[in-house]
Amino acid sequence: MLDTITVRQMPFEFPDEIDPVFIDGDHQQSFGFIAGSLLLPHLEPYLIRSMKAAEKHVTDPKVLDGLKRFAAQEGQHYRMHMKFNASIRRSGFPELEALEKELSDDYHRFSRTKSLRFNLAYAEGFEALTMNAIKQLMEPDGFGPDLPPYLEMVEWHFVEELEHRTVAFDVYDHVCGGYFYRLAVGTWAQWHFTSWMRRVTSYMLKVRPGPKRSARQLADARQEAGMPSAPKVRSLLPSLLRIYLPSYTPHDVEIAPGIQALADKYTEMAIKTS
């Protein structure tokens, strides 16, 4: 299931200003989500640069086609997140700019100074963790009906992450290969981007600390906003641990049929597909 990679140009529009606490009363979860969205216009162009650098070394036409589609999908993703992030930035968190600059500098430095093997292992470290997390959060059939545009945007993005789930793994394997190196750099990559997201979340919480809420109230707020429940998030761990095993390959990751229905929905909604 879900074995084609479709590049979709999406029509999502966001209001000029979005309240960054879009999960009512759950500042932590709302800001964590925003941190992820702020990460992407820096990270995804870096992934694209790494793929483009690998392109000339790829001799397998199937891997090459996947690489090109991966780059085209990520190009659509970060542009859409830039649009969303612009609405968020207008709501006043002045130090985000410096944090983003630091991240952007890191990724440009990696492209300039690190080996292609490092950059491809970073890409797969990111893709493996996020794809397996997304699978857990989305299955069996996504976030539910009647979503606000920012959640539809996330759902579309997540569907495409599942569609291109094997590409970074295959490109690394084809061009460089090696389990231990991929494991070491991939784990470091996961620390690198998640610690940046944690810093962004704590900065935003410092600027706008949330009210004290009980676990019940937080769970209700998340459900109302269409966000995954805490038990679903907790159940992530076992499925994430498998990505560190030597036997792990994203080719063995089966995607639920309900996700194909979502992929079809977003293909219908797209302005243009290829």
Task: List the interface residues with Fe ion, window 3-62 (CB under 5 A).
Answer: none
CB of 268 to Fe ion, least distance (A): 20
Q: Which is nearer to Fe ion, 77 or 174 (CB)?
A: 77
Q: Are 84 and 37 contacting, i.e. CB atoms less than 8 angstroms apart? A: yes
222 counts as binding Fe ion under rule CB under 5 A: no
Q: Which is nearer to Fe ion, 123 or 221 (CB)?
A: 123
CA distance 177 to 23: 42
Residue with tokens 């606490």: 21
Task: List the interface residues with Fe ion, window 153-172 (CB under 5 A).
Answer: 161
CA distance 121 to 194: 16
Q: Which is nearer to Fe ion, 26 or 74 (CB)?
A: 74
CB of 165 to Fe ion, least distance (A): 8
| Backbone angles phi and psi of 272, in degrees to 5 | -150, 140
> Distance of CA 225 to CAs 4, 7, 14, 168, Å?
30, 28, 16, 32
Q: Which is nearer to Fe ion, 74 or 155 (CB)?
A: 74
Closest listed residue to residue 114, CA positions, set 191, 53, 160:
53
Q: Which is nearer to Fe ion, 26 or 161 (CB)?
A: 161
Q: Could you tell me which residues come within 8 angstroms of residue 146 by beta carbon, excluding any fewer than 6 positions away? A: none
CB of 108 to Fe ion, least distance (A): 19
Which bin fits 212, alpha (ψ -120 to 50), beta or left (φ > 0)? beta
CB of 134 to Fe ion, least distance (A): 9
Task: List the interface residues with Fe ion, window 65-94 (CB under 5 A).
Answer: 74, 77
Q: Which is nearer to Fe ion, 26 or 155 (CB)?
A: 155
Task: Please tell me the count of residues contacting Fe ion according to CB under 5 A.
Answer: 3
Cα(first)–Cα(last) distance of the chain, in Å? 19
Give the residue nearest to Fe ion (CB).
77
CB of 113 to Fe ion, least distance (A): 23
Contacts with Fe ion by CB under 5 A lie at 74, 77, 161
